[in-house]
C-alpha cells in the first residue's frame, strides 16, 4: 500500500480526515492546555480545522459562500488570539466557531440524507458530524461563560471558569446522553442550552445514524431468490 493509494483514499473519504483531525486535537490539547505555547498551538489548530471543514462543506449541499463567510472572520480572530493573546476576542471567535460548526454539521447531515445508499465516506461523516455538533455546543458554552461568568461549575475549583477541555467533555456527555460528568450548568440559560443539546443528540442518533445503519444492513442483505 503505497503513498498514492493513501492519497486516493483520503480523496475518496475526506470525512475520515476531518474526524481524525478533530479526535487528534481533543486527545493532544490536554498536554498543552494552560500554557502560552498551547494557546498559540490551539489557535493554529483551530484555523486548520476550520479550513478542512470548509473544504468538506464544498462536497455537501451546503453553500460555499456561507461557510466561507463565517470561517474567514473566525480564522482572523483565531490568528489574532494566537499571535497576540487578546482575550477580549474570545467571545466573538467562539460565537463564530459555534455557528460555523453547526452549519457544517447541518451540511453533512444533508449530504448523508441525500440518497438511499450508505457509502463508506457517509459512515465516516456520521462520526465527523457528531464531533462537529459537540464542538459547536462546546464553543457555545465558551461564549456563554464569557458573557455570564459562573454559569458552569465543576467538582474541582467550582468557582473558577471552566476550561475548553471541561466544556468539551460536558458537551460530548450531553450529546451522547451518557450523563453530565462533573461539570454542570448552573444558570437557567446554560441549563436550557444543555437540554437542547441532549435533544439534538437523541434526534441525531435516532434519525440520522439509525438510517445509515439501516441502509448499510440493507445493502449487505443477500438478494431474494
Q: In the chain, what are the domain boundaries? A: 3-219
Reduce the secondary structure of the chain to three states and give it as a string.
CCHHHHHHHHHHCHHHHHHHHHHHHHHHHHHCCCCHHHHHHHHHHHHHHHHHHHHHHCCCCCCHHHHHHHHHHHHHHHHHHHHHCCHHHHHHHHHHHHHHHHHHHHHHHHHHCCCCCCCHHHHHHHHHHHHHHHHHHHHHHHHHHHHCCCCEEECCCCCCCCCHHHHHHHHHHHHCCCCCCCEEECCHHHHHHHHHHHHHHHHHHHHHHHHHHHHHHHHHCCCCC
Residues 35-62 have pLDDT tens digits of 766 666 777 777 778 777 777 766 676 6
Residues 96-135 have pLDDT tens digits of 999 989 988 888 888 888 777 777 888 888 888 999 999 9
- pTM for this one? 0.84
- Percent of the chain's residues with pLDDT above 70: 83
Q: What is the pLDDT of residue 12?
A: 63
Give 4's pLDDT tier (boundaries 50, 70, 90).
very low
Amino acid at each position: 500500500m503505497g503513498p498514492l493509494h493513501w492519497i486516493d483514499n483520503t480523496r475518496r473519504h475526506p470525512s475520515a480526515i476531518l474526524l481524525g483531525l478533530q479526535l487528534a486535537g481533543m486527545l493532544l490539547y490536554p498536554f498543552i492546555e494552560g500554557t502560552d505555547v498551547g494557546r498559540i498551538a490551539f489557535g493554529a489548530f483551530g484555523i486548520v480545522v476550520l479550513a478542512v471543514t470548509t473544504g468538506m462543506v464544498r462536497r455537501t449541499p451546503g453553500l460555499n459562500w456561507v461557510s466561507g463567510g463565517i470561517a474567514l472572520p473566525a480564522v482572523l480572530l483565531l490568528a489574532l488570539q494566537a499571535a497576540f493573546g487578546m482575550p477580549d476576542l474570545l467571545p466573538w471567535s467562539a460565537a463564530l466557531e459555534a455557528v460555523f460548526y453547526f452549519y457544517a454539521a447541518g451540511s453533512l447531515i444533508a449530504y448523508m440524507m441525500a440518497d438511499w445508499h450508505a457509502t463508506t465516506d457517509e459512515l465516516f461523516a456520521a462520526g465527523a458530524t457528531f464531533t462537529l455538533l459537540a464542538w459547536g455546543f462546546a464553543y457555545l458554552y465558551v461564549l456563554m461563560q464569557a458573557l455570564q461568568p459562573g454559569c458552569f461549575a465543576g467538582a474541582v475549583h467550582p468557582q473558577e471558569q471552566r476550561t475548553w477541555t471541561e466544556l468539551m467533555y460536558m458537551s460530548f456527555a450531553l450529546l451522547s446522553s451518557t450523563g453530565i460528568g462533573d461539570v454542570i450548568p448552573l444558570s437557567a440559560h446554560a441549563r436550557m442550552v444543555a437540554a437542547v443539546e441532549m435533544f439534538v443528540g437523541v434526534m441525531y442518533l435516532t434519525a440520522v445514524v439509525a438510517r445509515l445503519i439501516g441502509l448499510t444492513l440493507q445493502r449487505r442483505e443477500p438478494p431474494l431468490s
